[in-house]
Amino acid sequence: MPIVEDQQLDALFTALGDRTRRDIVARLSTGEATVKELAEPYAMSLQAVSQHIGVLERSGLVSRGRHRQTRPCRLEPAALETAVAWIEESRRTWSDRMDRLEAHLTRVQEGGQP
């Protein structure tokens, strides 16, 4: 895997490794929101929520636009494609390995050669 993809995955999984950031991503999946709107459910400062959003921006999951005097945050779902591809490839690899292990154990149980 190229270094750039590794860095993208590291940033994505780091960003998604925090519950607050996952909640923000889930909220943004329903539409744009301001930092103030995103901060409403939390007992934390706007600055703390902004820091979480900054991590999400650096990972490519979130971007901020301009609408009059506000800068609404929006989800960038395309950023998840790298992570989804990596997860799917890992799932296929492990599924293949389990299938081979199952076939090997069946042969051993039937008295065949390993």
Written as one string, the DSSP assignment of 11-67 is HHHHHHTSHHHHHHHHHHTT--B-HHHHHTTSSS-HHHHHHHHHHHHHHTSEEE--B
From the list 3, 4, 22, the residue with the least C-alpha distance to 13 is 22
Q: What pLDDT, on a 0 to 100 scale, did the predictor assign at position 55?
A: 96
Torsion of CA 64, 18, 51, 62, to 10 degrees: -10
Q: What pLDDT, on a 0 to 100 scale, did the predictor assign at position 5?
A: 78
Question: Tokens representing 70?
Answer: 């506000």
Q: What pLDDT, on a 0 to 100 scale, did the predictor assign at position 69?
A: 73
From the list 74, 68, 69, the residue with the least C-alpha distance to 53 is 74
At position 102, the amino acid (one-letter code) is E
Set out the domains of the chain in order of their start, with CATH numbers.
Answer: 3-109 (1.10.10.10)
Q: What pLDDT, on a 0 to 100 scale, did the predictor assign at position 113?
A: 63
For the chain (114 residues), the mean pLDDT of every run of 10, in chain order, is 75 94 96 94 93 95 82 90 87 90 89 66
Q: What pLDDT, on a 0 to 100 scale, did the predictor assign at position 17?
A: 95
